[in-house]
Amino acid sequence: MRPPLDLSLYLVTDTRLCRDRGVAATVAAAVRGGVTAVQLRDPDADARTLFALGRAIQAELVGTGVPLIVNDRLDVAVWLAADGVHLGQRDVSPTIARRQLGPHAYVGLSVSRPEQLAHVPDAVDHLGVGPVFEQSTKPDADTPLGLDGLARIVRQSPLPCVAIGGIGVSEAAAIRASGAAGIAVVSAVCGQPDPETAARSLIRILRPEVPA
């Protein structure tokens, strides 16, 4: 059995926001600050570029215990032997992903409406729920759920949920109170001048029982 994925502070990469620092260096700094899982996301990159970026991130994650999840691209996840894949509602079936990646991989699925919970396959380990608030990193995102919508999905879901969309330090405590297993962040870490400090500020709110 694979251990449960620690969703407390789930970093989704953004190549543009990482700027000259680069994605791999941003990930390394964020992990030092307390990030518990990393999702490689770059919808504009071709497969070769994404694979190279994934390899660079994997090198930074060696020895940390922090898993690498690939967004959308099951093919790249397979090539990287990544720890898992995160899929949208219009991507390849999670059942196919499970078959390709094997029993020890993590398979996540995005959910933006409560009615989608009825169609979550058994192959899925956790849900990405959102957007919770207005955000700017995913132009084609659905209408924001708000805290009430997030809490409703969390209550109804049989799987742990990680909240995403417009979440930063000022929203983290409310997300934690909703019952979500954690938060997924993009600009709150990738877009900050010091990703390590930004991640540490978030994890102190999400897991106050852990010594800084």
Q: What angle do CA 51, 53, 59 make, to 5 degrees?
A: 105
- The string of pLDDT tens digits covering residues 40-90 is 999 999 999 999 999 999 999 999 999 999 999 999 999 999 999 999 999
Fold of 9-206: TIM Barrel (3.20.20)
For all residues of the chain together, what is the average pLDDT?
Answer: 94
Identify the band that residue 211 occupies on the pLDDT scale cut at 50, 70 and 90. Answer: low
Where in the chain does DSSP place strands (E)? Answer: 9-12, 37-40, 68-71, 84-87, 106-111, 126-129, 161-164, 182-185
CA distance 186 to 189: 6
- The string of pLDDT tens digits covering residues 174-192 is 999 999 999 999 999 999 9
Instruction: Judge contact between 140 and 178, C-beta under 8 A.
Output: no
CA distance 17 to 188: 10
